[in-house]
Amino acid sequence: MSATLRNTVLAALAGAVSVSAHGHISNVAAGGKNFKGFDPTAAPFGPQPDSVTWSNGAKDNGFVLSSAVNDPDIICHLGATNAKLSVPVAAGAAVELTWNQWLESHKGPVIDYLADCGGDCATVDKTALKFFKIAEAGQTSLGAGGGQLGRWADDDLIANNLKWTVNIPASIKPGNYVLRHELIALHEGMQDGKAQMYPQCINLQVSGSGTESPAGVAGTALYKASDAGLKYNIYNDEQKPTYKIPGPALFAAGAGSGAGNGNGAGNGGNQGGNPNQGGNQNQNQGGNQGGNQGGNGGNQGGNPFQGGNGGFQGGNGGNPFQGGNQGGNQGGFQGGNQGGNRFQGANNGFQGGNPFQGQNRAAGNFFGKRVHARQTKM
C-alpha cells in the first residue's frame, strides 16, 4: 500500500489501542468494604444499578476534551446519570479508588472534589452540585530536557497498582456527597482544547460530627480551556516553573492537626533524597523540587488535606525510583490524612528510605502495614 495509506492505517490502529486503554474506576473501597464501579464498556450500555459510581456514555473508556470544560459533560463524564448506591465512609477516613487501567503516556494531574448533594445523591441534579477541591497532585518532577517527560501524579497511580487514596476531610458536616475524582491527560495538551479529562463521580454517605460546609463551584465552572494547567506542553517543560494544577484552591479546613500534618509532609519530602530536610516542614532550601513541594504542603498546615497532598508531591517528586516513590507518597499522604499522627507520616516515609526507623516501627496502622507489605515485595 502507499506510504500515505499505510500511515493512515497505522494511525488508526494506534488510536484504537490508545482508546481501549483508557480507563474507569472499577472498584471503590472504604471501611474495609468494596463497591463496584460503573463499567462504561459493558453492554447493554446504560445505568448499572449495582454501581456506586455514576453511569456515563464513554463506551470506549474515553474522555471529555478540555474544549468542553464548561459543558455539563465535564461534571461526571459524558451524559452521566446518578449512581443509585452510595459508599458509607466516616469523615476523616480514606476512600480507595481503583482504576481498571491507565496508559503510561497519559501524563497529568489527579484531582479530587466533593459536592454536598443536599439530599439524595441518587436523584440530585448534577448541574446544581457545587464542588470544593479536597486533594490535588500534579507534576512531581520536571522533565530533564530533550523531550524527556517528567514524573506526574498518574505515574504514581500506575506505580500503586492503579489505586488512589482520597481522604475525606474530618471537618465536613455529615451527609451525602458526590466525590468527583479526575485524571487529566496532557499528552496533547499543547493544543487548544485537547487536554483529556476523565472525571468519575462516586456517591458517598459521610458520617461524623464535622460542621463545615465548604463553598464550592459548579462542575461547569471549575476550569477554562485556557487554564495554564490544561493548555500545557508536557514535552518541553524542563525550563518551566512548577506546573500549576487547574481548578479552584484547595479547601482549607480549620486548624487543629497542623503539627501532625506537617510531619507527614516533611517525611514525604524526605524521600526526595535529602535526608537532612526530613521532618522539616518546608523551609526546604535548595534541595529538589519534590522536597520543596512536600514542605510547602505541610506548611499550609492546619489542613489535613493540604498537608497530606504536599507530602505526597514531595515524596513522589523527590524520588524518581519507584520504591522510594511509593514510600514518600504514602508517607506524606498518610501523615497528612490521618491528621495529627506524626508516626504514620514518619512510618511510611521510612519505608521509602526515611531514616526515622524507630518511629516507623511504632506506627502499625492499617495503611502503614499495607504499604510496608507492598514495599517489601518490591
User: Considering beta carbons, is residue 18 or 81 the nearer one to Cu ion?
Assistant: 18
* Segments in 61-189 forming alpha helices (H): 73-76, 153-159
List the grid coordinates of 224: 477554562
Query: 58 or 204: whose CB is closer to Cu ion?
Result: 58
Q: Considering the complex, what minimum distance in angstroms separates the CB of residue 20 from Cu ion?
A: 10
Interacting positions 18-57 with Cu ion (CB under 5 A):
18
Are 198 and 160 spatial neighbours (Cβ–Cβ below 8 Å)?
Answer: no
Looking at beta carbons only, is 18 or 205 nearer to Cu ion?
Answer: 18
Smallest separation, CB 115 to Cu ion (Å): 26
Q: Are 362 and 372 in contact (CB under 8 A)?
A: no
Considering beta carbons, is residue 18 or 27 the nearer one to Cu ion? 18
User: Of 14-22, 127-135, 202-210, 252-260, which part binds Cu ion (CB under 5 A)?
Assistant: 14-22
Measured from the CB of residue 5, what is the shortest distance to Cu ion in angstroms? 24
Residue of 261, 277, 378, 262 whose CA lies nearest to 325: 378
Q: Which span (15-23, 114-122, 276-284, 310-318) binds Cu ion, by CB under 5 A?
A: 15-23
Q: Phi-psi category of 34—alpha, beta or left, where left has phi over 0 and alpha has psi -120 to 50?
A: beta
Name the burial class of residue 256, with classes exposed (0-12), middle (13-18) and buried (19+) by CB atoms within 10 angstroms of its CB.
Answer: middle
CB of 41 vs Cu ion, minimal distance in Å: 15
110-116/130-137 β-pairing = antiparallel
For the CB of residue 64, give the shortest distance to Cu ion in the complex, in Å.
12
Cα torsion 265, 294, 155, 339: sign: positive
Q: Which residue is nearest to Cu ion (CB)?
A: 18
Q: Which is closer to Cu ion, CB of 20 or CB of 220? A: 20
Number of residues that bind Cu ion (CB under 5 A): 1
> How far apart are CB 106 and Cu ion at their closest, in Å?
6
For Cu ion, which is the closer residue by CB, 58 or 111? 58
Count of beta carbons in the 10 Å neighbourhood of residue 27 = 17
Q: Which parts of 280-339 interact with Cu ion (CB under 5 A)?
A: none
Piece in contact with Cu ion (CB under 5 A), picked from 12-20, 136-144, 283-291, 355-363: 12-20
Nearer to Cu ion, 85 or 162 (CB): 162
Cα 132 from Cα 129, distance rounded (Å): 10
Grid cell digits, residue 319:
524520588
Residues in a beta bridge with 183: 110, 198
Work out how close the CB of 227 gets to Cu ion at its nearest, in angstroms, rounded to a whole number: 19
Q: Which parts of this chain interact with Cu ion (CB under 5 A)?
A: 18
